Amino acid sequence: MLKRLAGWGLSTPATLLVVIFLVLPVAATIIATFLEPKGLFAPYQAFFASGFRRSVLWRTLEISLVTTFVSVLIGFLTAYVVSRTPGRLKSLLIIAAVFPLLTGVVVRSFAWLIILGKNGILNNFLISIGVTDEPFSMLYTQWSVIIAMVYLFVPLMILTLVGVLENIPDDLIQASASLGATPAATFRQVIFPLAVPGIIVGAVLVFTGSFTSYATPQLLGGESQMVMGTLMYQRAMVAFDWVGASTIAAIMVVVTVVVVLLMTRVARRLNPMAT
């Protein structure tokens, strides 16, 4: 009984901070959207009645899902190599993976402006080797946003998966090979099932981060590639439409929760060991 009371006592301050600074503001934002005189669901009807806003929602979802898929793919392959690297080299590789996280998001996004710009590094290189005579327009496209997003979130994916893959015993892989399993079969039946929990956690981190991102889409996408984060900022800080901004925030919360639940359910169905 004393241990239980001590546990409650230790967790109560943190719980109160989460409720006061996270739960209550989000709840107040969502509740405000249902207090419009025009009707209970009037802000949501106005949002989905607009073809432009629906396209922004779909674009944000598409960018987030593509970013998550590519980040999982690159992060898994990189984390597997790092987890199987011996000794000091593994530490150096982990430091190299973590190093981009030490720089701010805005700085890393600006770096892609220099790389992808018409007078940027990539265009100058393509012109110098004779691929093109005129620079390509690579900025302010959906793919420029996705490339920058992948660059931002792959380190998170690597860090999430390295620990999971390190804990897969070598004996299991060797036993699988000794029983005649091909490398592909070993990956499908041994490595991937044991890595599914880490993949779920990493995918959730990447999706939620990319779906709610503001700085990177604003810098690399501009007005032509507006996403939900930039649309919410525009409604709140430019149009001063606080109800509209709250509606966008509420939709983002609901979509994020639904997609995360679907991702978790699909991953668990692919492999019951992840439950």
For residue range 229-244, list pLDDT tens digits in order: 999 999 988 888 888 9
Mean pLDDT calculated for residue range 212-218: 91
Would you call 64 helix, strand, or coil by DSSP?
helix
Of 102-106, 129-133, 264-268, the range with the lowest mean pLDDT is 264-268
Residue 141 has which token pair? 């496209």
Helix 142-166 and helix 87-98: axis angle, to 10°? Answer: 150
Please report which residue ranges of the chain form alpha helices under DSSP H: 2-18, 24-32, 42-49, 51-83, 87-98, 105-116, 121-128, 142-166, 170-178, 183-186, 192-211, 215-220, 228-233, 242-270
| pLDDT average, residue stretch 53-68 | 94
Helix-, strand-, coil-residue percentages of the chain, each rounded to 5: 80, 0, 20
Q: In Å, how far are 73, 141, 194, 231, 247 from 234, measured between CA atoms? A: 34, 19, 44, 5, 13
State residue 47's pLDDT score. Answer: 92
Q: How high is the pLDDT of residue 275?
A: 46
Coil/strand/helix, residue 271: coil
Three-class secondary structure of residue 261 per DSSP:
helix
pLDDT band of residue 138 (cuts 50, 70, 90) is confident
What is residue 57's three-state secondary structure?
A: helix
By mean pLDDT, which of 14-18, 150-154, 224-228 is the weakest?
A: 14-18
Total-model pTM? 0.87
- Average pLDDT on 53-75 reads 94
* Percent residues over pLDDT 70 in the chain: 95
pLDDT at 1: 60
Q: How many helices (H) and strands (E) does the chain have?
A: 14, 0
pLDDT exceeds 70 at position 7: no
Confirm if 204 and 161 have CB atoms less than 8 A apart: no
Regarding predicted confidence, which is higher, 2 or 177?
177
Assess whether pLDDT exceeds 50 at residue 38: yes
pLDDT band at 274 (very low <50, low <70, confident <90, very high): very low
Distance (Å, rounded) from C-alpha 63 to C-alpha 137?
19
CA distance 172 to 169: 6
